[in-house]
Structure 1
Amino acid sequence: MSVPADTFHRGPALSELREPVHGPLLDGRLRDLLDGKKIVMTGVTGFIGEQLLWKMLTELPGTTPSVLVRRKGSAGAEARVRSLLKKKIFAPLAEEAGGLDALLARVEVIEGDLPNVPELPADLDVVVHCAGDVSFDPPIDQAFTTNVVGTQRLMERMLEAVTGPDGERTKVPHYVHISTAYTAGRRRGAIPEAGHVHGIDYEAETRAGLAMREQVEAASRMPEQLTALRHQAERQHRQAGYLTTAADTERRRQEWVTAELVAAGTERARSLGWTDVYTFTKALGERVVTDLGADIEVSIVRPAIVESSWLHPYPGWIEGFKMAEPLILAYGRGELPEFPASADSVLDIVPCDLVVNAILAVCATDPTPGEPEYYHVSSGARNPLTFHDMYGHIRSYFTAHPLENVTKPGAPLPEWTFPGAVSVERLLSTSERAHGVAERIVSRAPRSNRSRKLARDLDKLRGRLDFWRRYHTLYNEYAQSELHFVDDNTLALSRSLDAADVDAFAFDTAGYDWTTYIEEVHCPSVTASVRRMDALRKRRGSRPTTMRDLSANTAGSSAVAVFDLDGTIMSTNVIEQYLWARLPELSPVEQLVEVGGVLGRLPGYLLTEQRDRGSFLRAVYRRYRGLDLAELEQRVDTTMNDFILSRVAPDALQRIEEHRAAGHTTILITGAVSVLTRPLRELFDVILAAELGTDAEGRATGFLKTPPLVGESRSAWLRHYASLHGVDLTKSFAYADSHSDLPMLSTVGNPVAVSPDISLMRAAQRNQWSIVEWRTKSPSPRWHLPSS
């Protein structure tokens, strides 16, 4: 697949303009130079580390890889390495070795973590540090812990391993540090393969960065901050109850802490001349390396943007999504209308296998102790790719191979004009403001299929805008970069490869063309998994459901099915039910007065319901005062029975019967007064409804006998009932329509949102609960009163 270097566009290399000064070169084949060496490496479960291990096991039979791997949950280091060796690329090696155990025996496993590095083997020869926090915007303390403190601890352990009891070095190790080309920061022009000159005190910055966690945590617990967060949570969850609100408040506090730590890292980095806390801490990590490596062999490898492999272990090999993949897929789906890049800025991409080959070549060198060598593994100097070129290749690929699951089927791909970062920011900000206005309108709209559809569309738009905002913020600086990474050392090292090693270990970044790499290797690779998932979803149809088929359900009496009434199995509400109960006993004039009174109070009722469902119900129950409950009971059993049953949704009735046939206990929990639920007694084993208090004459007092069962009280009752009756809630079902029933739905293993309000719909989507529509086809209009 490789092509001659003179068949594609090349930029001038500094080495072509002058005789370059370069570091140590190779003198022989890599397998011979590294034969008998033990290479301790970190980051083996990462993108570069995995292929580095594969390459060593494949091409360097006399080299012993020793890998530092942290425990993850119950999986120890060896178990994690075993899982790694089960991957596709290691299968031929395992077969050749005689099995997975035999292949694992070739790898020395050290359980440990950064910065808690354990004792390293005394017979180590080379340490390759390619672990680190690679996200651009980690919390500041996390970035320092991994990229600075972790590096320091690793080097200290390495030096301890090669120091004898007398304090003398038993050998001079070679420390190979994998950094990033972007440690140069917000510079412009040529970046030499050398240490970056700056006066930053990395020890002071590390202390400050680590201390930031405690400071921000303390700030998050201040009364004014907690009040603000609690009010945010209450606006969304007050109907569901105090505990739900409290849990959401704490979630928001933790998110606030993370956001503040991310912002602290970004701002500190930029205040000192770096693009983000990742490049900042990696630059400080380099300073740690040169200080601690003052009398050992040190090499620092600085890859640019690492993407899928050019040739090995196969073209397009990649693990996970890196920098470019989310943007490529977003463009292919039509979700990225513009990008804040300078069209002529160079996007410095390098295939992963070239980076791995360069690292191993560096491992085989012998730098002078105390004189660090630097290597840029980049493409921009001799094989430049501009953002406009990249856009053209990606557009060409998706034009020929469109994705099926796109935002607007049939719509053309976005055409980028590269208007500049300011124009893109203006477009993005305008779109975010328009979304905010639409969201406020929809959140106040009456519940309906139309409002739910609009809310779903807004959620999708919000996701696209959030994606666009995140990557605009992260990559804006990189997209307008004017850095030129000099790669003379790397080029000289590449040219010193033995001729017999070129096929397996080449890393000259002028050895491939971008059309082939992007359109025939990279894009097909990064879209393959997406296409498979899209095809799988298409075959499966809808997502996994919590609306289980009950015909094969074996839970029997150990499961319950809990139903809400208003808006769930019946298209009614407590105000309408009150009018059913009250108006028949009034004269026509009194009916008009009563309806007018209810309508006058309606806005207040709605506001009360938004604040607290229990207070709303109590306000409605007050209107029952003076009602003769015995008379109402008689009316319900005679004239209202069929009327109420006619309001039950046919789909709900069928589902209730299915649960009864499956042997489940059916439970109705409602805010309606208990008298009005009498027609439903044949459908439910247990009915929990509002019990009105009465005076000595049997008339309603307007007060309840017990508090209304709403929000978290329903969940509490259900848990208590389950404990008394041996119910398995993980096998049980619940059906409700309101966000106030979120706690109850969360209590069972099979929750179903029925014609939900927007807040519950969104919660159901987040939790992957089923959403169904149960429509009532009443024989009479809603305003029609039951009569004899």
Structure 2
Amino acid sequence: MDTNENESQIANFYKDRSVFITGATGFMGKVLVEKLLRSCSDVKNIYVLLRTKKGLNARSRLDELLNTKIFEKIREENPKALNKIVAIQGDITLNSLGISESDLNLLTSDVSIVFHSAATVKFDEPLKTSVEFNVIGTRRLVEICHKMPKLVALIHVSTAYANCNRTEIDELLYSPPVSPQRIVDAVEWMNDDAINSLTPKLLGDRPNTYTYTKALAESLLVDECGSLPVAIVRPSIVTASWREPLRGWVDNINGPTGLILASGKGVLRTMLFNSKAGADLIPVDTVINLMISVAWYTATQQPNSIMVYNCTSGQHNRITWGDIERIAFPLLLHYPSAEIFRYPGGNFKENRLFNDVCCFFDHTIPAYFFDALMALTGRKRIMVRVYEKLHRATAALEWFTTREWKFSANNVLMLIDQLKGADKETFHFDIRDLHWPTYWEDYVLGSRKYILKEENSSLPKARSNLRRMYLMHKLIGFLIMYGIWHRFLLRTHAARRLWLLLSSLMMKLFSILPAIANT
């Protein structure tokens, strides 16, 4: 049967169907909700699981969610669509997800598509907490899905690094490091100290509790989904939006976004990486379009087994960590932040010892010096704590910035070929079409705008401030060299004459610095 080029099979599939989403307030969850409302406008209802947080109940948190920047277009063009979003009070760490009996009856009778993206993504989360969210939380959701007679698709969001102990990762379900039930039993009866001491042995050749528990969750799905129509989407490192809902939109400082901001502020000046290793980044809207398409394909084609989709970029549009440094750093100088700690500089290192030495001189010493100045002026000392937090973050990222994986993505390519007519554009997720330099320019501008809340109109002032910081950076460097020269080298008559000549030239330069700074 021929498809009308202007007709969307996927949008038609979602027509009059209700969707249930966990993790709707997260980075990916926000984009998923917005995309469904905008591109599947005839969807019946979108139920979102929201827990009470910071004194706000589910309804208040929903209002907070819908007031974010990415829903601006819908608020202006079709505000009634927002009424389709229904807050469900609950908590993934509670039995039956903490959902009331009336809400549970509503979900089980009305929902036909479920997206499970709720998880703790902290790399350093205690194992017990990570198991509670990522493994037991998945079990609780599956139990509810078994009660949904209309269910046609359950899409579980995992991570491409669930099996990062391998170098080549296919779109397959691998045997877990240990039975999920054994880990669940252990965290239920062992005390926190015992679990924490045992954690390194359990993790084995995996770097953190996040990747470990995500692997367990995949295995649990296999064991407990039964005949449920399940598919697993494994995104790699999820980054700012590529094309929609706003170019460069991002709302957190995880992963590369944190590196961009810290480098642009002049705080991050060195970290360990492998310049030749591929950086497997994937824009958030690419992941969301794939997830929506996977639900459609799972429901309409009804595969005989759980299909896995590696949502990755490395095999089809590779970029290395060295490429990112080369492309992104000049952009940080072209689009500087309005407030910076130091003039952006430094570079990433491939030798651990050299990186440690540079950390001491470029991070630790300036942090203590700055805090000492703050103490002398009666102000709060913050930079030592900032650098301690930064070093923990970069240490957690080292596993991913110094290694490379080969992810197969045949199922993703197959699904691209399944899209017809308007769906090719509306639900586009072909990473081969992305132009990395353009994307990184949008990424830097988006981080500046959506995280730092700095509009493009502030760029002239920011660039002027950057020039002043550059001159200060050079002056400080000169004074340090002067101290070394004066203390150790200014011993001979020829050296003193050379010093007088250089001093004369520097005085002439300093006389014109104000004019340069104000240009």
TM-score category (smaller protein): 0.7 to 0.9
Q: Which amino acid aligns with 1:270?
A: L
SS at match of 1:182: coil
Q: Which amino acid aligns with 1:453?
A: L
- What is the match of residue 132 of structure 1? 119
Shift in CA distance, 208/325, structure 1 to aligned 2, threshold 3 Å: same
Note the C-alpha offset of 1:398.
1.8
- What is the match of residue 83 of structure 1? 64
Note the C-alpha offset of 1:430.
7.9
SS at match of 2:249: coil
Match of 1:353 among 256, 261, 285: 285
Match of 1:107 among 68, 78, 85: 85
Structure 1 residue 299 corresponds to structure 2 residue 231: yes
Whether contact under 8 Å (1:294, 1:369) holds in the other structure is no
Whether contact under 8 Å (1:295, 1:370) holds in the other structure is no
SS at match of 2:109: coil
Whether contact under 8 Å (1:269, 1:275) holds in the other structure is no
- What is the match of residue 47 of structure 2? 66
Structure 1 residue 405 corresponds to structure 2 residue 385: no
- What is the match of residue 500 of structure 1? 422
The separation in 1 between residues aligned to 2:362 and 2:435, in whole angstroms, is 38
Shift in CA distance, 348/455, structure 1 to aligned 2, threshold 3 Å: farther
SS at match of 2:231: strand
Whether contact under 8 Å (1:67, 1:108) holds in the other structure is yes
Note the C-alpha offset of 1:307.
1.1
Which structure exhibits the higher relative contact order, with contacts defined as CA atoms closer than 8 Å and separated by 6 or more residues? 2
- What is the match of residue 30 of structure 1? 10
- What is the match of residue 308 of structure 2? 374
Q: Where in structure 2 are there 5+ consecutive unaligned residues?
A: 1-6, 463-519
Structure 1 residue 481 corresponds to structure 2 residue 381: no
**CA offsets, 1:147-184, max 9 Å, x none?**
0010000110111233xxxxxxxx55421101110101
SS at match of 2:156: strand
Note the C-alpha offset of 1:126.
1.5
- What is the match of residue 144 of structure 1? 131
SS at match of 2:110: coil
Q: Which amino acid aligns with 1:159?
A: H
1:627-646 mapped onto 2 (5 Å cutoff): none
Structure with larger Rg: 1
Shift in CA distance, 137/525, structure 1 to aligned 2, threshold 3 Å: same
Whether contact under 8 Å (1:129, 1:176) holds in the other structure is yes
Shift in CA distance, 514/177, structure 1 to aligned 2, threshold 3 Å: same
The separation in 1 between residues aligned to 2:128 and 2:162, in whole angstroms, is 18
The two structures, once aligned, show a CA RMSD in angstroms of 3.2
Note the C-alpha offset of 1:197.
2.8
The separation in 1 between residues aligned to 2:246 and 2:88, in whole angstroms, is 29
- What is the match of residue 29 of structure 2? 49
Structure 1 residue 463 corresponds to structure 2 residue 385: yes
- What is the match of residue 526 of structure 1? 447
Whether contact under 8 Å (2:314, 2:406) holds in the other structure is yes
Note the C-alpha offset of 1:269.
5.2
The separation in 2 between residues aligned to 1:105 and 1:483, in whole angstroms, is 43
Whether contact under 8 Å (1:330, 1:336) holds in the other structure is yes
The separation in 1 between residues aligned to 2:416 and 2:109, in whole angstroms, is 31
Shift in CA distance, 95/456, structure 1 to aligned 2, threshold 3 Å: closer
Q: Where in structure 1 are there 5+ consecutive unaligned residues?
A: 1-26, 163-170, 220-259, 444-448, 540-788
Shift in CA distance, 107/400, structure 1 to aligned 2, threshold 3 Å: closer
Match of 1:121 among 94, 103, 108: 108
Shift in CA distance, 37/295, structure 1 to aligned 2, threshold 3 Å: same
Whether contact under 8 Å (1:183, 1:279) holds in the other structure is yes
Structure 1 residue 153 corresponds to structure 2 residue 140: yes
1:547-626 mapped onto 2 (5 Å cutoff): none
Note the C-alpha offset of 1:358.
0.3
Whether contact under 8 Å (2:311, 2:409) holds in the other structure is yes
Note the C-alpha offset of 1:289.
1.1
Match of 2:164 among 161, 185, 188: 185
Structure 1 residue 515 corresponds to structure 2 residue 437: yes
SS at match of 2:134: helix
The separation in 2 between residues aligned to 1:404 and 1:160, in whole angstroms, is 53
- What is the match of residue 388 of structure 1? 322
Q: Which amino acid aligns with 1:182?
A: Y
Q: Which amino acid aligns with 1:480?
A: T
SS at match of 2:433: coil
TM-score norm. by structure 1 comes to: 0.52
Note the C-alpha offset of 1:429.
6.4
Note the C-alpha offset of 1:349.
0.8
Note the C-alpha offset of 1:316.
1.1
Note the C-alpha offset of 1:488.
1.1
**CA offsets, 1:412-459, max 9 Å, x none?**
62133x3333432454468899799x79xx99xxxxx979339979x5
The separation in 2 between residues aligned to 1:317 and 1:432, in whole angstroms, is 29
The separation in 1 between residues aligned to 2:289 and 2:222, in whole angstroms, is 23
Higher mean C-alpha displacement, 107-116 vs 470-479: 107-116
Note the C-alpha offset of 1:121.
2.4
Q: How many residue pairs are counted as aligned between the two chains?
A: 441
| Identity over aligned pairs, percent | 26
**CA offsets, 1:705-758, max 9 Å, x none?**
xxxxxxxxxxxxxxxxxxxxxxxxxxxxxxxxxxxxxxxxxxxxxxxxxxxxxx
Shift in CA distance, 193/450, structure 1 to aligned 2, threshold 3 Å: closer
Q: Which amino acid aligns with 1:393?
A: I
Note the C-alpha offset of 1:131.
0.9
Shift in CA distance, 455/96, structure 1 to aligned 2, threshold 3 Å: closer
Structure 1 residue 424 corresponds to structure 2 residue 358: no
SS at match of 1:463: helix
SS at match of 1:346: coil
The separation in 2 between residues aligned to 1:301 and 1:60, in whole angstroms, is 20
Shift in CA distance, 210/316, structure 1 to aligned 2, threshold 3 Å: farther
The separation in 1 between residues aligned to 2:395 and 2:36, in whole angstroms, is 38
Whether contact under 8 Å (2:128, 2:192) holds in the other structure is no
